[in-house]
Chains A and B, each alone.
Chain A
Amino acid sequence: MATPMRKSAGWAAEQALDMDSILILEQLLNGLQFGLMLFLLAAGLTLVFGIMDMVNLAHGSLYMIGAYLIATIAAASGSFWLGLGAGIAATCVIGMLLEKTILQRFYHRDHLAQVMGTFAILLMANEAVRMIWGTQPMQLNAPAALAGPVTLLPGLSYSAYRLFIILVGLGVAGLMYLLITRTRIGMQVRAGASNREMALAMGTNVRWLFTALFVFGAGLCALAGGMLGPILAVQVGMGESILIPAFVVIVIGGIGSVRGALLGALLIGLVDTAGRTLIPLLFAGIMAPDLAANAGPAVASILIYVLMAAVLFFKPNGLFPARG
């Protein structure tokens, strides 16, 4: 694909190099965009897992419910922004109800019970969405102002909406950094992540903290759902397909660590994007085209799991383990 370009006449070499650096820049942005969205999901997941010691498979359902609510409100009101705001708020309320009524009862059970219970919630959420919104995917369109491209550098135009996603992701990451390092809640969260029993003994109001954390995680899920809705499709099952990479992220980053989640998410985003670009090219160079066309994408899609295995081999607790 790119190889014939490099082979082309010498006078075009400089131009070809240009094209390649544009490709690399653009793929970096793609990786950043994908990684930051994974971070939104992984941040909530890692806190719930790290602090409450709770495996929550229904996390992806909140992402799906958030996306549906945002799409529905946006369609009804005609405003993407109103849909986003109201959808996130509604998902927070749903998250709170879920935590208060059901999930709280799972905190003292073992992981197997938690997996079974939250998996049941996931299935019920899928069917409920199917009953309410039907089987056809919903359309959520990016706001008109962001629908077009922006020119970043001469020759490099990039989707304004994807750029916006990157900014939102960076903003949330920055906000979370301040929240965790500079506030009292943040201190309690860190204390809870590194030693839960001790934090309890020191008088942290765990009930309240857990609910707040869960609601915050639900809000981030809905934000991710609203951001990705216009790029992906708002459909039943969307939560599961992103839940698995989100789990990979928190395992790589170290369970309970928001810093680890951010780094893990960016790593996964970049590796996944790079893999999808480079591996098919690499394979095309060494094997028959039809074989490469099959093997390339297949190998690219397992790359993030290879990365996870490698990280776990050298650092079994992840890159930034919250527990010393």
Chain B
Amino acid sequence: MTMFGTSRAAFGAAALIAALGVSQPVWADTVKIGFLSTLSGPASALGMDVRDGFNLALKHNEGRLGGLDAKVIVVDDQQSPDAAKQTTDRLIKREKVDFMTGIVFSNVMLAVAPPIFASKTYYISPNAGPSQLAGKQCNPYFFSASYQNDNMHEAVGQVVQDRGFKKVALLAPNYPGGRDAIDGFKRYYKGDVAAEILTPLQQLDYGTELSQIRASGADALFFFLPGGLGINFIKQFTSAGLGDKIALFGPGFSADEDVLSAVGDAAVGMFNADLWAHDLPNDANRRFVADFQKEYGRMPSSYAARGYDTAQLISAAIEQVNGNLKDKEALGKALKQADFTSVRGPFSFNTNHFPIQNYYLRQVVKDEQGHVTNKLIGTVMEKHGDAYAQECGMGG
């Protein structure tokens, strides 16, 4: 609620400045970031994590990005493509932001991509990675500091395949993201599918589906149920007594900190794949995780890690062009180099400006203090790109 208020207030102030006709001063030493994210509604925890991760990177850089003072305008997209489009217009035309970032949902991303690209503003994605932008509609002004939507599901498919499961049940909501998840999984899992179940996106009671899964005789279950859906499902899965019969697999989203804090013990044992883990042994990550906990009093999620990396990527690129944001081409080249230390380990850009990176296997455990959290098990895929890069015509 307060979040909502703040963004509204920021808006109001911005509108007021514009209305009074106060011309925008040209701060040569300032970089303006339009941060548009989902900060209200059931998925608001995700947007807040991205924002807090981004802000932590700013704090680590003393409020600067690549030597320029950073001015971040945070706005709520209400998870609505329409609201996001209007806000984007204001950010681009009135605020004249240099970069945009923050979007969590792919449908929102696809709605605002055309105006952002048309205005030649660089968009750095901390989350949404729809296949369209990775393939035919790839764009020089789009860089993903996250993943392509299929990636995590592909990694889970690989894990399930490697572990020798032969009969796997699949469960996802019946919407484009859900169907992509199942396609991504099947790209790397070659065994039998015991059952493939698609549920309405609004459904919260999985009693019927759990019975079907039990009856299918599956030895493992892959499920992708975002946010609250996953919270309900994991609880019901355990309470139905399937926990010790069927191994549970999912993408990192299904077992990130927001889900674990709600589900608790019921998720213990679940395997999930992600591009990041809080116990990845590298210095940048150790610092990020420790400071995030100190600053916000909670464990960072993968969303927060990507928010942090997004700011670091922008910072590195600005530094490389010596703060000259006018030369768009040079800025693009600098971004492409991705000359920053990612908390997720090795990171570079593919020809379509999506990452080539590692995917890790994590398992939900109870740590020594009794917190339910993820533990890094190992690397599933090394320097993995995506299936759509060859459809993108950008080359080089």
Contacts and interface: CB of A to CB of B under 8 A. Distances in A.
B86 interface: no
Interface in A145-161: 147-151, 157-161
B4 to A, nearest CB: 8
B320 interface: no
Q: Which of B194, B207, B212, B228 has the most chain A CB atoms inside 10 A of its CB?
A: B207
B211 A30 contact: yes
Interface string A239-270: 00100000000000000000000000000000
Contact of B41 (A1, A135, A294): A135
A273 interface: yes
Nearest to B174: A297
B182 to A, nearest CB: 9
Contact of B241 (A137, A157, A233): A157
A26 B214 contact: yes
Interface in A128-180: 134-137, 139, 141-142, 147-151, 157-162
Given A232-B232, A289-B196, A22 B215 contact: yes
Contacts of A289: 196
Contact of B198 (A2, A150, A297): A297
Given A1-B195, A23-B214, A136-B44, A158 B241 contact: yes
- Scoring A151, A160, A297 by chain B CB atoms within 10 A of each residue's CB, the highest score goes to A297
Q: How large is the interface on A (under 10, 10 to 19, 20 to 34, 35 or more residues)?
A: 35 or more
Interface in B187-245: 192, 194-200, 202, 204-205, 207-209, 211-212, 214-217, 228, 231-232, 235-236, 238-241
Interface string B38-62: 0011101100000000000000000
A232 B204 CA distance: 5
Nearest to B244: A149
B236 A27 contact: no
A282 interface: no
A202 B195 CA distance: 61
Interface string A1-42: 110110000000000000110110011001001100000000
B118 interface: no
Given A231-B205, A231-B236, A159 B214 contact: no
B22 interface: no
Nearest to A162: B207
Contacts of A187: none
Given A135-B40, A159-B236, A232-B205, A293 B198 contact: yes
Given A159-B239, A159-B240, A294-B174, A135 B208 contact: no
A99 B338 CA distance: 65
B207 A1 contact: no
A61 interface: no
Given A135-B42, A137-B228, A158-B240, A231 B204 contact: yes
Contacts of A277: 208, 211-212
Interface residues of B, number: 39
B27 to A, nearest CB: 36
Contact of B215 (A20, A134, A141): A20
A211 interface: no
Contact of A2 (B42, B197, B216, B262): B216
B215 A293 contact: no
A34 B241 CA distance: 19
Given A158-B240, A232-B204, A1 B40 contact: no
B1 interface: yes
Greatest chain B CB density within 10 A among A1, A137, A290 is at: A1
A297 to B, nearest CB: 6
Contacts of B174: 293-294, 297
A230 interface: yes
Nearest to A23: B215
B198 A22 contact: no
Nearest to B41: A135
Nearest to B173: A297
Interface of B: 1, 40-42, 44-45, 174, 179, 192, 194-200, 202, 204-205, 207-209, 211-212, 214-217, 228, 231-232, 235-236, 238-241, 262, 266
27 contacts: A1-B195, A1-B196, A1-B212, A2-B215, A4-B192, A22-B215, A26-B211, A26-B215, A34-B205, A135-B44, A136-B42, A136-B45, A137-B42, A137-B228, A142-B235, A147-B266, A148-B238, A159-B236, A159-B241, A162-B239, A231-B204, A232-B204, A232-B232, A277-B211, A293-B174, A293-B179, A296-B198
6 nearest A-B pairs in the assembled complex, by CB-CB distance = A149-B241, A157-B241, A23-B215, A26-B211, A159-B239, A1-B195
Given A135-B41, A137-B42, A231-B207, 14 more contacts: A5-B216, A19-B217, A26-B215, A134-B1, A135-B42, A136-B44, A141-B235, A149-B239, A158-B240, A158-B241, A159-B241, A235-B42, A276-B209, A277-B211
Interface of A: 1-2, 4-5, 19-20, 22-23, 26-27, 30, 33-34, 134-137, 139, 141-142, 147-151, 157-162, 230-233, 235, 241, 273, 276-277, 280, 289-290, 293-294, 296-297, 301
